[in-house]
Structures are given as structure tokens and as C-alpha cells.
Amino acid sequence: MHIKWIGSDREQLQRTVQDLGRLVPFSVFVIVPFAELLLPVALKLFPNMLPSTYEGQAAKDAKAKTLRSTRKEVSTLLRQTLKETGLPVSAENAQREEFAEFFRKVSRDALENY
């Protein structure tokens, strides 16, 4: 039996599994006597240890912004690397590059002849 997940259900399941994974090290502070005194130190060293329920909206926004900028940098680096090697990423991208180069040539010729 195969279950198809709706986007929001899948995200909720993923977040729940991540929170369960975060609760395992967090439970040490509950089980070990007086370990809760070290909880602020542990949260300072490992800020993602706290489950998502306890995150504020500002922290979520900051994390999302950092993730977007990191993804953009990596994407730019990968595109630049692939461009330098000369390998086309896909047939569609190769066609897009060919068309862009053709359009630049046509535009340059039109400006020179005008």
C-alpha cells in the first residue's frame, strides 16, 4: 500500500521526526539530576537542539533567511563550476544557453549595422 502525502502533511511529518530526533539528547537533561543547570550552556553551544515548538517566529525567519542565502551561494557556485567545465547541465539549459548566445550575437550585429 502506497500513501501519497500532501505537501503540508509531509512537511508536518518531517518536522515531527526532526523534533523527535532533537528530544533524544534533550532527554538527558531531564533524566540526569541537576543537568538542567547546564541546559543554557548546551543551548548556546547547540542552538538547533531545542524542538521547533519552542522556537520563536523571529528565529524561524532568521534560520530560513540563512538557509536561502546558503542555497543561493551554493547554486551560484555549482552553476559557475559547470559553466567553466563546459558540461551542459541538461539539454534544456544547453538550448537556453545557445539561444542566449544567438540573441546576443544578433543584437550586437543589429547595433553595429544600425
So where are the chain's domains? 1-55, 57-114
pLDDT 10s digits, 24-68? 877 888 888 888 888 888 888 877 777 777 777 887 888 889 889
DSSP the chain: --PPPPHHHHHHHHHHHHHHHHHHHHHHHHHSTTGGGGHHHHHHH-GGGS-GGG--HHHHHHHHHHHHHHHHHHHHHHHHHHHHHT--S-HHHHHHHHHHHHHHHHHHHHHHH-
Check pLDDT > 80 for residue 81: yes
pTM: 0.40
Check pLDDT > 90 for residue 108: no
CA separation for the pair 54, 52 (Å, rounded): 5
Range from 5-9, 61-65, 68-72, 78-82 that averages highest in pLDDT: 68-72
